[in-house]
Amino acid sequence: MESPLTQQSRPETFKPKIVQLYENLFQNSEYAEPSEGFWREFFLLPPDRAQLNTILDALSPDETISIQSQTQQLFARGIREASTASTPVNSYALETLTVFLGCILRKKYTNPSSDVITVLAGLDKVDQVISNFVAVLDGIIRSGTSIDIRFKAIRAAIAMTSGAYKTSLLSYFTHRDLFPSIMKACSRALVQESETPMQIFEPFLLLGLLANYNKFEFQNPYQLRLDDFVNESSIEKIVKGVAISCGALRNGYVAVQDDSPEGWSLIGTLIYFGLGVLAPSKREKQTPPTPEEAKEMFAALPAQQAAILLATYDFTNANKLFGYHLISSAPEKETEESPFSSFLSLTSYLMHHAYRSSRVAHYAELNLFTLRILSEDSTSCKLLCSEESKRKVRLCRQRQPYLPVVTGDRVLATAIFDILIDAISHNLRRRLDVQLYSHTITIFLRILTYLSMNRIRLTYHWSELWRNLLSLMRFLTTYVSDLASSPHTTALTTSLVDLVAFCVSAGDTFLPDPASYDDLFYKLVETGPIITKFRDVYSLKPSASSPSLSKAADSNKDIHVAAVETLISVSTHFYALLFNPGTDTDAKTESETQTPVPIPAAQKKNLSPREVHRIIKQGYDTLSIQPPEGLSAWTRYRETDWKTELKRAARCAVDDATQLVA
């Protein structure tokens, strides 16, 4: 009697059962509505993220819409299973939803809002389905049974938020307030003493995405909640999480080119961030990348986790308490960086590489906005300029020219000055990022006016600041034709002359010694012809109808005109004293053995630094200038003035968030 059993041939490869279910659901031409048993098996099996991603990515937008019945059923069933207390079904459902939403929402549909609604729920059920989805996520984030399930819900929310950013579906997240749940997740993250910055990164990223959704079009509730949040314990934990993320992002640059100054090492920072396993062993010989390889590696930086800088900016702008703790928080150990040191360090690396791509420039600009907001607040600026808040800050040294290395703790304002100077010197090109330079001048003016008003004298390499400001003026004069088309060039040129004129008129209130002041005047003498040409090419001449420059100007244009005329007057005055053949330079002192100061070729002999100092000091008595009033006045930061730039930065963060959950 023959056996009813037949032997099947052994397949060449074994396919996981869950992958077979994916194919049956999305690739079966003869689709039949899945049974209850199908769905039970579907969510009982661990998801294969890579295979699900591959299958869904292979579908075109039109093909995705054509299988809307399957996608709607998967989405609805996934929400249902995620809301249950059954483990691991709820966890598998959230993972599946995260991959599903990441793939479905990043497709380029003809009509994004309506097509996405069709794919996920259908027009007749969209309110019920999406509202239920948001409610389920809110409940899990707030009171999930484990930290793992809570953070899987956060990732699903990020997938939905980032993927549907251009659609109307995000309005469901504004109708239901997730802020308490998100802040609870942030607070719990570091209580768990997690070793990964992702534990604080993800909820804070989600908050940043939600707070930026259409915030210029309507009153975003998450922005209001940021403003009212006063839980200092939670704020301190968020600040620590931001610091960990900033340090990790900075280490990405260090891994490409280790520019560690004395006292720093890549291995030390990797161990500090819990990544010691990545540190090379002593036996390994590290081969640095070639210039071309390094260029490609730098172009891919910073990592997608830089999207957290959007939330950092929003919290700083909305909540002064957050800004205070960001600056004042001290490191827990002597070997650690303070949170603000990590933020400044990352900013330094972003500034060095801002020219590489618009993405890096957007994040650099976000951090400059954050620094501007902090410098405009008297409490925060006091911390920045205080000896009591001194910190050690690691700054980028991956490209020349280098600023002097400052070892040990330093006043935070001086570290910010170094970052701004590096931004000026490392991004000069004919297609200049005019706004980036405008931000640097703006921050300089705000901090210097605070120093001047409070008579705070900072020890700093001021000669580097004078040299870079006047080099920028030279560059703007040389490439005026390339910059004429930018609508922001006028703001940059006028703010630059105002800043230099302010330093001339008020330098004695914040400079630590006469030598720093003398150096400014001598550099103005050297740059005299450039200043005159700068005035001419940018039309900063006084008109016939303008009031006298010796009187307070009433209009902004008059102030700028008076500022540049002040610089020209100072340059002309000291030029006459220094390079007049009749100047007395016969004193025989040890200063003659010092390195001479270079002077124009027309001069027959050089002047020593001490002689220059003596002549300039004498020249103060005969200097007759009256700087215009209003140089120290500045307009406070308003978000609406930078709406376009902030929307671009938000879009950059959204794109990075989409890639993170993909």
Q: For 135-181, what is each residue's pLDDT tens digit?
A: 999 999 999 888 899 999 999 999 999 999 988 899 999 999 999 99
Q: What pLDDT is attached to residue 616?
A: 67
Q: Are 82 and 136 in contact (CB under 8 A)?
A: yes
Between vectors from CA 305 to CA 655 and to CA 275, what angle results, nearest 5°?
150
Domain ranges of the chain: 463-582+595-631
| Radius of gyration in angstroms for the set of CA atoms belonging to the chain, rounded to a whole number | 30
Q: What pLDDT is attached to residue 569?
A: 85
DSSP 8-state secondary structure symbol assigned to residue 479: T
Strand partners, 597: 607
Q: What pLDDT is attached to residue 487?
A: 85
Q: Are 209 and 654 in contact (CB under 8 A)?
A: yes
Q: What pLDDT is attached to residue 286?
A: 65
In the chain, which stretches have pLDDT less than 70?
1-13, 189-198, 261-286, 542-555, 578, 580-613, 616-625, 627
Contacts of residue 541, defined as CB under 8 A and 6 or more positions apart, other chains included, come to 535, 561
Helix (H) / strand (E) containing 160: helix 147-163
Q: What pLDDT is attached to residue 624?
A: 65
Q: What pLDDT is attached to residue 392?
A: 94
Q: What pLDDT is attached to residue 199?
A: 73
Is residue 607 classed as helix, strand or coil in its secondary structure? Answer: strand
Contacts of residue 153, defined as CB under 8 A and 6 or more positions apart, other chains included, come to 82, 94, 136, 137, 140, 141, 144
